[in-house]
Each structure stands twice: as structure tokens, then as C-alpha cells.
Structure 1
């Protein structure tokens, strides 16, 4: 008889040089909750493995794939750090993985691939909520490499879901108990919102599409990906709950735009609250849940705006060191794309440029006024000098005139012989 079996691995603690992850174990608990729920995932067998060492992790993975039958649905979930080497090869970390020797202390993606290939189950789902860049500890440089997950993990009848692309980090959420991608995988199942075609079943590609849209509403720079073929496309991961809340949520999803619901949207939504038998409190809670990802992105944009404005206020133009820090803050912490922040930077620098030009204009004006005053003083000094010279010349001329007069008079009075 076909079974649904899952192995959920969470690694929150690591060896030297690799930072801990607060959300990993919570991710496992949340996934276990929805998968084991008979009304949702309906998985008969769910094994949790928390902070395993490399041997325990490889053993559990081998056991998962080895014991599965042909008609079983096998699900492998990992939440933790993913590390790539210089060739772009993926390793999943364990509790004894250390920065300097991560290859020998982690689980190679090739191992998972081989065990998956040897598995008799024709339906397999691999979910990796992991970072791939390996840039975590100080001095551990990020590598812009390309991890070919299709080659390393993909195969016929197998679906691979990843929380971010090979050159990105998955983002832990400050103040949240779940990582971003897992949060929306769980939400998509638990609320039924991932059932886009209203079939009553949530296909794996529907779940990924829902989670990806929500993740990118919060952090557009984070791009979850999916690898699947036509066989994997038809894998049903869970049943969608049927309720008034689910129906109302889908309406809210339909009308929400950029983190807001317009007054026109409420022309439909408020009557529908009564139709679905929801209280205003229930409806508002659903609305806030739907709008939350967009609002968080707006909050992240505001955080970047404040940081950029502060930097510009302290020093303008910005030097390369500050620009690099702001770029890391934008991409790695806030998860924003360049197109999200360029308008902010232009707005702030334009104002600063106007202020700079105004300061320059005032400085030029002051310099011109000072030069004019100096010229006036010089002119006054020159005028005074000319006046004194004139007076002196007149005095000399008067003396000369007097002398000439006396000389002429003396000639007239000289006796004649």
C-alpha cells in the first residue's frame, strides 16, 4: 500500500566558523505539523532529525530512500546552512561542520543524489531551505558560483524546491521564528491559499509558486526556484482545507495591491464577510496576514532609506567603503533589488545635490561680495592717495608759483645801469 513518508532535518548549531541559525528547528516543527495533519499532508511517517552529526545525517537519508516502496511519496526537507566549494558543488551542513573542513564534516549533494537514484519510489520531493554562498563567518568570502542543482539533485519523477538561487543567501527573519521560505510553504498548506485552481488538492508546483510570490513580496532579491519534470508536476503534497476563511483569503489575495486594500476592494469584501459568516475581527486578521509580506517589504525599503539618508548627511559624495556596506545591507540583510532602492537614492542625492549647489552658489555669492568690498576698499585707498597726491601737487605748484612770482618781481626791481 502506498505511503507518504518524510524526513525533516534541521541544523541550528555548527562547528567553528559557522554561525547558528535560530529558525532551523522551528522550521522542522512547522513542517511536521502540516505534514502529519491527516486533513492536510496526511503523511503516515514523519521522522525528525535535529542537529545531527554527519554520520547520523547520512544514515537517516540512506534509510529514507532505501526503505521506500515504488508507490510511496518520499519527502526530504532540510533547513540549515548550505555551502558551496569553488566549483559550485553543494554540501549540506551538520552540527559538526566547521568552516575550514566543511567537505569532510557535511553531507555532499552527490550522496543525496545517489540515494535518491537508487530509491524505488517514483514520487520524490526534496525541499532545501538553505543558503548556498557560504559567506557567513568573518573572512569567509562569498563566492558568486553557479550550483547546478538539476544535475546534482534533479531526476525524472523528482521535484527539488530551493529557497534561493545558488548565488544568494536564504534570509532568516529578524523577530520571526521561521525562515522566510518555510513560513510561506507552511502557510500555503495550512490556509489552503496555495490551492490556486480550487481543486481541493495542493500540487507541489502550486505550493512553490505561492511561497515564491510571498517571499519576493518581502524580499525581492531572494529568488526561490523549482526543478521538476512532467511527472513531478503532478505530485500532490497536501489537501487544501475547505472553509469560509479560505474563501475570504483568496478574495483578499485577489484584491490586494502593493500592501494595501483600496476603498473599492472593500465594496466587495465587507459584504462577503457576512456571506462567509466572518466577524470583522476574523476578516481583519486574514487581511493583515495577506498584506503582511508587502508591508514588510515597504518597512525594509524605509529602513534602507533611513540608512542611506544618514550616510549622505554625514558625508557626500559617499566613498567606496560606505557604498559597499550599504550594498551589503540592501542585498544581504533587507533582500532588496537595485531597482527597489535606486529611486530612493536618486531622491536623496538629488536633494543633497541641490543643497550642495545652493551652498556653492552662496559661497560664490559671498566670495563675490567680499571681492567687491575689497575692491571698494582698494578704490577708496586709491582715491585717498590720489587726493593726497593732488593736494601735494597743488602745494608744490603753489610754492613754485610763489617762487616764480618772487623771482619775476626781483627781476623787475633789479637796478639798471
Structure 2
């Protein structure tokens, strides 16, 4: 009997992953984001937390609700659309419950340091014997193999060890971390892709496998040109600010009420831009009439940039976007308020209302758009152990009497 038929009766979500059951035993973001993507697409995701030590992202601001019952919007954003149970993996009964759940599970996602689950007697080798089809997705700082596999890690670890931190910032200044948890997010995205690839293989062969995703590995793939510049020319990438290593103009330019990104570096886009601002002859100026000439740093700084900012400085961000239309690549550099209120973001359904503390709160939506996918229903994040009785009864066969005993023993 497959996990899908054994879990029949468990509340299922609509979507292409309907029928899949996922155990999410992760914390914070590197892991919860991965399983959130699966939940948005229809998987039944069960958030597993320790009964006395739940996911500490629940304590991250901003908070919503009355003072005596505030809930974390940060936590909700990454744990929406999930069921919630509690298990104490250090108790014998907690371990047995996880094993029972694994029998009826398609995917397990964990983000412990490599070796932790093995020490608990719950590693892949053990769980695979219980359910040969199980996809075991493990997210960690440095992966399950290699000399650094046991090192502790956070998002900043991935940014530092993956090379991205060294490239970010301005020339002649110390490097600057990327202004978001890109290591956690990238690892979660790769974990979701790897999980679905392994699932496809399991559907064909009946055998599951480990999906091993490292934050360092994930960040390394985001360094664009840096690897091949080094391996081909022994050049080490360094901070460039808003500049680009091999095309100009391509970056940030001042306008009347802020800044815009302009990327009209090709001869075609350059000619259109010159005409757009009433100076078509600038496209034929022998000092700046080719991409190669405009890329020269001195030319870019002394001729091209002053020319563009002279044009752009007469207009607001909105006016420039309207003028550029679909003719040249120009976008306002928007703050998050402007993004949230952007009509195009609204048209793409990228700010969605998620229930939290008795109200609906706008959160980022699902960026994967499938033509066959109906509108996604967004549900609240679970309270710790909110669905213990439902999940344990239907997936682990726990009776009401057993449930009461497990609760009093601290196993759940």
C-alpha cells in the first residue's frame, strides 16, 4: 500500500502535488521554505516540532495579534498551508511515532547538522528500511560529505563560504553581505527541485534516495561569472558596487525622485535611448558610438553617466518607466512598499492574504505559475501540535487512549 492510499482521509490540498505527504522536521527558513513551496502546490505537509522547544522562528518579528497572543508573521510566511504536530525524537515513543509516520510518508525534509538524525537512530538508512520509497531531503551548511560536513552553519556561513559575500559591496571598501538570507533561500529552492527529481525517479523505480543540499554549494552557483573568470584567467572577483564586470551602461542612475536601473548597453538600445530623450545624434558620437567604447571605465564615468543622469534627472521614476515602456530596459529601483503596491505584482497575484491572529495579512505569493493550477488557497500556519490527534490517528494509527498517554509522557 502506498503512502497516498494509507493516508486517505487526511485533509488534502488541491494542486499538482495533491496526494503527496511530506514530513517537515526543519526550522527557521532553510527547509521550511522548501516544504512551503511543496504545500502551496498541493502536498500535505506536516510541520513537526519538539513539544517543549518549537521552531524558534515563532519568536521572530514582526508580530500580529493582541499582546497576550501575538503570532510571528515571519513564521507564518514560511509555514502557511501546513499541518502541525509535535514529537520528541529523544524519547523512545517519539522515535517510534516518527517511524510509523514514515511508513505513510513520501518525503521527509530535515535541516539538522549531518549525523544528528543518525545519532537519534532516525537516519536515512533506518528510515529507508521502513519505507524504501522515501525521499529524504537533507539541507545543511556544507552537505553530508566532505571535510567540513559537521561544521555548524547559518545563512551568513553560506554567503561567506560560497564566495558571494566577497563579491558584494563597493570597490575599496570591505565586502557586504547580500541584504537577504540568500543562502537559506537558495538551498531551499535547490532542495525543492532535487526533491521533485528524486520523487520522479521513485515513481519509476520504487526506490527513494537522499537529496543532499548544501548552503555553500547553493551560494556558489549564484556567483555568476566568478568561477569561470578564475578558472580561465585566474581573476578573482571583487566588489563592483552597482557596476557590471563586462557591460556598460548597466546599473543604477539617479533621477528626479530616486534611482532607476538602466541596462541599455547594446548599440540598438543605446540608439533608441538617445532618440527617446531627443538627442539621436549622440548614438553616432564617435566617443560613445559602440558598446566597446561605452564600456571603457573613464568614458562611462565622464561621458555616458553624466549624459544619462542629465536626461533622467528631469523625470521621476514613474515617468521614466512610462517613457521607456517596452522600448528599452529601464526599471524604477523600488522600495518594498512600492513593490507591494505595484499593479503588476497584483496582476501576478504575488501578494496574497494569509490568515494570522484572526485577520488576513499580505505575504509573498507563489512565483511558480502553472497553466493547469487553479488559484491557490492560502491557509494559516499551524500552532505547535495543533494537528497531533488528526495526523497521529490517521497516519500512525494512534488511538485516543494512546494519544492521552503519549501526551502525558512528553513524547508529543
* TM-score for the superposition, normalised by structure 2: 0.30
- Relative to total residues, which structure has the larger helix share, 1 or 2? 1
Largest Rg, 1 or 2 = 1
